[in-house]
Amino acid sequence: MFPRLRWLCLPISKYLGLFLSHTLHHCHVFPGDPYHAISVDQLFTLSYHVRLCNQLVTLSCPPLDWATWEHLSNLRTLVKIKVCIRHGTPPRLLGPHILPFLHLTTLSFSVNNAAYATTMLQQLHFPSLKSFWIDMDVLASTEAEPLFCALSHCKQTLERLTVIFEEYDDPQSKSLTVIPQFLSFTQLRSLHLSSCDSCIHLDNDLLLEAMSAWPHIQTLKIEDCIIAPSVTFRGLFTAIRQCPQLESLRVLIDTVNIDIDPDAEPIQHTSLKKLHLEASESLGNAEVLARIIFKWLPCVDQVSYWEAWHEVNTHLVSLRTAALHDIGATLNT
């Protein structure tokens, strides 16, 4: 009915076959009811019609059967896949051999746990993968290690990595030492780790080790709610000197126990422009914090969007205004 259709966003239904055609380039299909798992019949219908598409560039869909993944692995045009499953049990992904997706560069998951993503990384091969993104409801301690181990198969090519989870499930410990799992990912340009469960461990030594391992990093975001900060300003500035291309940074930092002299001669980092610092306690001396940031990070105009930094940002504006006034006065003399 639509022989020249290129883009499609549609819930799974009996009418799906009217739209999925060999001309389709960009396809997003999803369960009609987001609160229920797709049925066996829906999965069969979806898998059958996806196998009719042979020009796909991007695909967003629930988990598919092995025959469909095998079909997709042969598409030279396909560069981006997103798998979405929040309810129900996905079909088993077991085949007679490893499937290579030679041209895929972006792989994403919106899932309730890590199991299906891990299986895909184990059963399918992504030699050109540059971006991996996963958003989970729960990351169980028993699933974390297999996921990160399977992901390491892409460490030579991966440039952008995002791991987001609401809850970390570990009956033995609430601390997840995840960053060392990624130290061998030497091509990273962007890393985003986010948890609502206060479990991601980061301190000065680990941050320095990470920054030394990722010389090309441009964006680093580690969001972890209310866990007590172990990174200090001295540790932060020591670490980011290893990454001259760093442009955006978000970490939890100790702003009360300041371990550098705000009047000392700084070693400036001139590429960092976006700075989001979180703290679990009151910020401490806002004027001192502003002087430190102004001297050491000259391209940062303001810190985060958190209301608690308002006073620091006000001091930053005053420092910049005074500096510009001094420059103007020097040029006029």
**Is residue 131 located within the same domain as residue 256?**
yes
Tell me how far apart the alpha carbons of residues 38 and 36 are, in angstroms, rounded to a whole number.
7
Tell me how far apart the alpha carbons of residues 143 and 150 are, in angstroms, rounded to a whole number.
11
**Is residue 28 located within the same domain as residue 52?**
yes
In the chain, the amino acid numbered 273 is K
Tell me how far apart the alpha carbons of residues 223 and 295 are, in angstroms, rounded to a whole number.
25
- Secondary structure tally for the chain: helices H, strands E: 8, 13
Neighbour count for residue 92 (Cβ, 10 Å): 11
**Is residue 316 located within the same domain as residue 168?**
yes
Helices (H), 51-169: 66-73, 115-123, 141-151
Tell me how far apart the alpha carbons of residues 164 and 222 are, in angstroms, rounded to a whole number.
10
263-278 residue pLDDT tens: 888 999 999 999 999 8
Alpha-carbon Rg of the chain, whole angstroms? 24
**Is residue 158 located within the same domain as residue 77?**
no
- The structure's pTM equals 0.91
CATH number at residue 217: 3.80.10.10
**What is the CA angle 271-289-268, rounded to 5?**
30
- Report yes or no: 30 and 62 within 8 Å, Cβ to Cβ: yes
Token digits for 30? 């999803």
Length of the chain: 333
Token digits for 226? 């209310």
Token digits for 279? 């703290």
208-260 residue pLDDT tens: 999 999 999 999 999 876 667 789 999 999 999 999 999 999 999 998 889 99
What residue numbers bound the domain in which 83 lies? 1-91
**Is residue 159 located within the same domain as residue 304?**
yes
Class of residue 81 by CB neighbours under 10 A (exposed 0-12, middle 13-18, buried 19+): buried
24-38 residue pLDDT tens: 899 998 876 666 677
Tell me how far apart the alpha carbons of residues 224 and 293 are, in angstroms, rounded to a whole number.
22
* Residue-by-residue pLDDT tens, the chain, 333 positions: 777 888 988 888 777 777 777 888 999 988 766 666 778 888 888 888 899 889 999 999 999 999 999 999 999 999 999 999 877 778 778 778 899 999 999 999 999 999 999 999 999 999 999 999 999 999 998 999 999 999 999 999 999 999 999 988 887 777 788 899 999 999 999 999 998 877 888 999 999 999 999 999 999 999 876 667 789 999 999 999 999 999 999 999 998 889 999 888 899 999 999 999 987 667 889 999 999 999 999 999 999 867 789 999 999 999 999 988 777 677 776
Contacts of 205 (CB under 8 A, 6+ apart): 235
Our count of domains for the chain comes to: 2
Tell me how far apart the alpha carbons of residues 323 and 135 are, in angstroms, rounded to a whole number.
44
**Is residue 213 located within the same domain as residue 171?**
yes
